[in-house]
Amino acid sequence: MSTPVYLDNAATTPLDSRVLEAMLPHLGGRRGNASSLHASGAAALDAVEEARASVAAFMGAEPGEIFFTSGGTEADNIAVLGLAAASPENQHLVVSRIEHPAVRQAAEHLGRIGYEVSWIGVNEEGRVDPEEFAAALRPDTALAAVMWANNEVGTVQPVEELAVICEQRGVPLHVDAVQAAGRIRIDLGSVPIATLAISGHKLYGPQGVGALYVRRGVEVRPTVFGGGQEQGLRSGTHNVAGIAGLGEAARLAAEELDVRVAHEEALRDRILDGVCSIPGVRLNGHARERLSNNAHLYVEGVEAEGLVLLCDAIGFEIGSGSACASGGHKASSVLLAMGFDEQEAFSVVRVTVGKDTSEQEIDGFVEAFATAVARLRELSPLYAG
């Protein structure tokens, strides 16, 4: 059987072979602990610091503002819980309704232990209204959190504007940039974001490694305790190979960003041209303010899981909603926040291209998708069209 066409790059991206090359010396042979004083330890520490410089350059930050973590989830948790812990006199949070569970559930946890959370809604395109956001900020707001781009529908938020509002009001803003990183150029020198999370495996880097940016002067209290690595903010022996991989992935992403985005946008639009002419198929999220690689589709009369499995059976791997949220059978809170009803929320699929996806693959997908939708509709008692 031939290799399936992978169109689920929002769930995880393939590991770039150049990234693997950068990791290999730290996986086999001589291996040091970056905290050890001997030469093997020093070599490991050099690799960690080189990666830190590369991740910092990737987002316009200083190396001392970058903290390595075990991924996007941990970076989000450290930021939300650690910013809250840094100002215990302030017991109020402002959080968008479309956050990834890594932020949403950390905020819900704070809600259970006495914080008040103001949840900020979105319009039908999935965008936060800056005026509504500004109105929710209070003198006792410990932090605000809005993701840069949504992992399900791909809508990009007006983060620069929200960051300025937060700065003026003296509230630290946490931004989950896990999906945006590598697709939107991030320059933290010119956007006053307090903390920002990225993840290696959405950037053609390894899984299980990420980074948290903490602006100099912003206090984030640790929530993980141990050997004091990462300036005491994230204790634990460094994942040297993973960190080296993230560093190389960030370096390549910075260098290739414009080419990757142009390539992805052309393929995404090729998908939309191909599938939106099928009756009852439409794009969800914002038409323009959206990630270069994301085509999130509502397919009337079709149950998403069936469509994903049928596409898989004929050689195309796509996502149903969000991989991180799948497994349970609950309607996506992002789609409900955008005004979908429960039934509509189960009729969506997420098709996400990558830097190595080809036009030929997209043309094959468009044809297969049309066939799969027609076949499922024939069987569906729900579809009258």
Looking at the Cβ atoms of 210 and 247, the one nearer to ligand PLP is: 210
Strand pairing class (173-176; 195-199)? parallel
Residues in the chain: 385
Is 324 a known active-site residue? yes
Q: Nearest-CA neighbor of 229 among 36, 86, 51, 56?
A: 36
Cβ 294 to ligand PLP, closest distance in Å? Answer: 11
Of residues 166, 276, 311, 324, which has the active-site annotation? Answer: 324
Nearest-CB residue to ligand PLP? 72
Cβ 99 to ligand PLP, closest distance in Å? Answer: 8
Q: How is 298-353 classified by DSSP, letter by letter?
A: EETT--HHHHHHHHHHTTEE-BSS-TTTBTB----HHHHHTT--HHHHTSEEEEE-
Structure tokens given for 350: 């997420």
Cβ 176 to ligand PLP, closest distance in Å? Answer: 5
Cβ 71 to ligand PLP, closest distance in Å? Answer: 3
* CA distance readout (Å), 276 to 137, 197, 268, 271, 283: 40, 33, 12, 8, 7
In angstroms, rounded to a whole number, what is the distance separating the alpha carbons of residues 193 and 294?
25
Looking at the Cβ atoms of 54 and 151, the one nearer to ligand PLP is: 151
In angstroms, rounded to a whole number, what is the distance separating the alpha carbons of residues 302 and 212?
39
Which positions lie near ligand PLP, rule CB under 6 A?
71-73, 76, 100, 102, 147, 151, 176, 178-179, 199, 201, 210, 324
In angstroms, rounded to a whole number, what is the distance separating the alpha carbons of residues 70 and 325?
19
Looking at the Cβ atoms of 71 and 274, the one nearer to ligand PLP is: 71
Structure tokens given for 267: 């393929």
Looking at the Cβ atoms of 72 and 274, the one nearer to ligand PLP is: 72
Looking at the Cβ atoms of 244 and 372, the one nearer to ligand PLP is: 244
CB-neighbour burial class of residue 317 (10 A; exposed 0-12, middle 13-18, buried 19+):
middle
Longest dimension (CA), the chain: 72
Cβ 73 to ligand PLP, closest distance in Å? Answer: 3
Question: Which positions are catalytic?
Answer: 324
